[in-house]
Chains A and B, each alone.
Chain A
Amino acid sequence: MRTPASIKLVAGLGPKGWLAVAITALVAWVLVPLAHLMLPESHPLHVSTFAITLIGKILCYAVVAVAMDLIWGYGGILSLGHGLFFALGGYSFGMYLMRQIGREGSYQSDLPDFMVFLDWKELPWYWTGSDHFLWAIFLAVAVPGVIAWIFGYFAFRSRIKGVYFSIITQALTYAAMLFFFRNETGFGGNNGFTDFKRILGYSITAPETRLVLFGLSVALLLGTLILGRVLIASKFGKVLTAIRDAESRVMFIGYNPLHYKLFIWTVSAMLCGLAGALYVPQVGIINPSEMSVANSIEIAIWVAVGGRGTLIGPVFGAAIVNLSKSWFTTSFPEYWLFFLGLLFILVTLYLPQGVVGLWAKLTRREAKAAAAQAKAETPAAPAARNSESNAAELPAGAAKGASA
């Protein structure tokens, strides 16, 4: 008998999880807007526009980090090209935002400014329908999804993995960046898209619009986390982690890793596309440098810092790295690369499980110390040994509920 999806969903998160979701939603959708709109700027609890934009941006990064974690932490596939899918989503939605400018550009034309500049007379075919909001959202999911599917199909079918796969994804995003840098490609070349005016008719700089975008980012992140939890707790997730740990054995048992890898890879790319689509209106610009090799590798370090193979870790990782980035680049710009470089080295050397793993280790040590104390008093039970990987993160009940 199959368990209905709704029961899987409820069981997948557990009461504690749902409580966390509810609290986050309350903070994001009620308290933050109130603090931003109602409190005067001098008030200590006032949330500034800068803070909302910064946090909104980090939320989008966090979605990308979770998507990355799904393939790297659970699938064992390290992509160094996820910036491409993020940027493709951003460009898809950026096309809509460019059309929303209407005739308010510098050249007062129906066409976006850069096309007037190139002396183009009409929109290229791939801009068809870009003035429809829903079509733009659809593109933001579909374009990264289709490209990821095609690329993944060929890569996974010939069993490209490990560093081969990583370098080829890096080459992919590099080639795409070069492609988007060309003016003739029709996406604004070097400058990309910017100077957005409105979204669905609302001014893009209005505080209310920003709050709605912020709320949507929170919703997307929560949705991603819930989806990730359901996927990971399902049978699918079990096979996926098995492929990560011993692909050949899984094949001998009779599973075809291609379908599993391809599915999670495509889902991950689509999530990145959505995150990109939310990112662009909040920061107000998208250009090919989002596809640069360095950006994509940074995504991997968010996940590594937070903790691979845990869903909440990447969220922390994205927040830690990006908050320190905005602090360093304003205070000590010349030391940011040193910090980032050392972060890469030290985290991989000394924190293979990230901060979440560190936290789990510390709490376990406390538990062990307590157990040792108890043992000293009653010398009998051997200290329980937690198995490695994500046992600390996954509630035991979740796995049982789904795998029936």
Chain B
Amino acid sequence: MRRFLLSLGLVLGLCATGARADLDPAALKGLASDDFDAKQAAITGLAATGDADAERVLKALADDALAVAGGRVVITAGGQVLDAASGAAIKPAPANPESIGLNNALRQQVDGALAALRLFSADRAERLAAAKLLLADMGDGAALLPILDKAVKAEADGEIKTILAQLHAQARLTSPDAAVRLAAVQTLGESASPAVKALLLPLIEKQGDAYLETDDKVRYAAQTAIKSIEGRLAWSETAGQIFTGVSLGSILLLAALGLAITYGVMGVINMAHGELLMIGAYSAYAMQTLFRASFPDFVDYYLVAAVPVAFFVAALVGMAMERTVIRHLYGRPLETLLATWGLSLVLIQAARLLFGAQNVEVANPVWMSGGVQIAENLSLPWNRLVIVAFSGFVLLLVWLMMNKTRLGMFVRAVTQNRPMAGCVGVPTARIDTLAFGIGSGIAGLGGVALSQIANVGPDMGTGYIVDSFMVVVLGGVGQLAGAVWAALGLGVVSKFLEGWAGAVIAKILVLVFIIIFIQKRPQGLFALKGRFVEN
């Protein structure tokens, strides 16, 4: 019985090993060598074979499980000692296997080789992952060249093949043969990736008096390649800047829409407007906490619930402010400025006491994380896309409210001529309160949007009052279209200026621009038509 089992095991073992050729023990010897170059060559050789045995050995090497015992290279696994070449257990286990050490450079090479070997995996996802891993960090390209040669030829999948072609060219850049380098540079020139550009840049650099790249032709080709990559990158960079500008503009729009309504209707600036944004953001935080505690299954949808909550909380706070303070200062806009500043101080301090002085964490729901990859160097994050769409949606609602409802008509009437509107029976005092509530609610919505891309803290709103007021000034009072153009314009322009001159100078330039603009058009981009008299 025992003999039967033994022979069965033997047969199975033979089958297992017989399916593939054993590795050449002589090639493995190099791994045990003390010489760095010999070790390196042995690893390269192993990787180039590209088969599963080689992978097994390299893995063992990476795990420090490879050892030398009795003149043979062996793998120590658990209590067993296996022959590295065949994978068969050695019995009896040789005494004192001496582990093969790796330095950092070699370890990197082994890791690279392992990744390269996975390029031959049957699983497409694994091949793609391996290719991307190598793209991120290839290590010593020249050592991988043979295996990449093979992989490019074997690959059938288009996406992986493009990556491999780039890797292949990248590996050939370090070739000692100028013709090979030239071909590699020409291949790379077709890419549109900033990483490739960075790769080519050293070729045209000088060290001391001599160029790093000695061959003129290669250098010239590199220059052309860099130029064509830059050309391809330029449009997507511009597109990226426009997008960040638009997303900044849509935040500005959400912040300014409410201000535009209240300033238009009542002629007062609510300095606590930024704090209404803060209230909206904290509503999102409160909903997130509530959902985490009570409805953990729906936690990804807390944001949907936060939208109405933020609107109503901010609107209520706003209406309370209007009833208790602002109403009593009618006709004294400068005092209103100071009183609402006082309100903002009280609100900030209240938030500090309620939620702590530190910023709180508001997480993006899963469906808002990640982004859409438009080009190699241009990815639009979902949270910003959602915010742009959301502000468009809010804008639509406000437009409908202002133009299609009775309330909106009253608001417009009071904006244009308060005493006349009162004469024909518009309840101006109630319109004031409602308009203030709606404006505040919109600010609350802006706060929800802001909570997804900025820090949520007690004084997050202080910076927004100036920016939103600039939008109102630029767009013209009481004009939705003006606010939209001004917000998007300011957003895009300040992002471009930032790229060109830095954030601080950009802010100053925008301010100077607005002061000059007011010289020319004190009534803003879009003025209400009509005849007015001051005072």
Contacts and interface: CB of A to CB of B under 8 A. Distances in A.
Interface of A: 72, 78, 80, 151, 154-155, 157-160, 162-164, 166-168, 170-172, 174-175, 178-179, 181-182, 246-248, 293-294, 297, 300-301, 304, 334-335, 337-338, 340-345, 347-349, 352
Contacts of A301: 338, 342
Interface string B311-346: 000000000000001001100111111110111111
Contacts of B338: 297, 300-301, 304, 344, 347-348
B490 to A, nearest CB: 12
Interface stretch (B126-134, B447-455, B503-511): B503-511
Nearest 5 Cβ contacts at the A-B interface: A344-B342, A341-B345, A341-B346, A337-B349, A345-B342
A326 B503 CA distance: 35
A158 B519 contact: yes
B535 A343 contact: no
Of the listed residues B342, B346, B353, B515, the one surrounded by the most CB atoms of chain A closer than 10 A to its CB is B342
Contact of B466 (A155, A164, A170, A247): A170
B469 A341 contact: no
B157 interface: no
Given A163-B337, A246-B535, A345-B339, A174 B346 contact: no
B202 interface: no
A301 B344 CA distance: 14
Given A246-B535, A338-B349, A344 B507 contact: no
Contact of B346 (A178, A246, A342): A342
A158 B522 contact: yes
A170 B271 CA distance: 11
A114 B354 CA distance: 40
Contact of A167 (B329, B466, B519, B533): B466
Interface string B233-245: 0000000000000
Contacts of A293: 462, 466
A78 B534 CA distance: 18
B47 interface: no
Interface in B478-535: 503-504, 507-508, 511, 514-516, 518-519, 522, 533-535
B346 A162 contact: no
Contacts of A246: 535
Q: Is the interface of A mostly helix, strand, loop or mixed?
A: helix
B306 interface: no
Interface of B: 267-269, 325, 328-329, 332-339, 341-346, 348-349, 352-353, 462, 465-466, 469-470, 473, 503-504, 507-508, 511, 514-516, 518-519, 522, 533-535
Contacts of A181: 504
A248 B269 contact: no
Given A158-B519, A182-B504, A175 B511 contact: yes
A247 B535 CA distance: 8
Nearest to B534: A248
A181 B325 CA distance: 36
A160 B462 contact: no
Contact of B522 (A159, A175, A304, A343): A159
28 contacts: A72-B334, A78-B337, A80-B337, A155-B515, A159-B522, A163-B269, A168-B518, A171-B466, A171-B469, A171-B470, A172-B511, A178-B503, A178-B504, A247-B535, A248-B533, A248-B534, A300-B338, A301-B342, A304-B335, A334-B353, A340-B342, A341-B349, A343-B342, A345-B325, A348-B342, A349-B325, A349-B328, A352-B332
B507 A178 contact: yes
A293 B337 CA distance: 13
Given A293-B466, A344-B345, 16 more contacts: A72-B334, A151-B515, A158-B518, A158-B522, A163-B334, A167-B469, A167-B473, A171-B466, A171-B469, A171-B470, A178-B508, A248-B535, A340-B342, A343-B342, A344-B341, A352-B335
Contacts of B329: 348-349
Contacts of B352: 334
A160 B333 CA distance: 14
A172 B180 CA distance: 60
Nearest to A162: B333
Contacts of B515: 151, 154-155, 168
Given A154-B515, A157-B519, A174-B466, A166 B535 contact: no
Contact of B335 (A172, A340, A348): A348
B141 to A, nearest CB: 38
A184 to B, nearest CB: 9
A175 B508 contact: yes
B346 A338 contact: yes
B134 to A, nearest CB: 40
Of the listed residues A157, A301, A345, A347, the one surrounded by the most CB atoms of chain B closer than 10 A to its CB is A345
A356 B325 CA distance: 23
B445 to A, nearest CB: 23
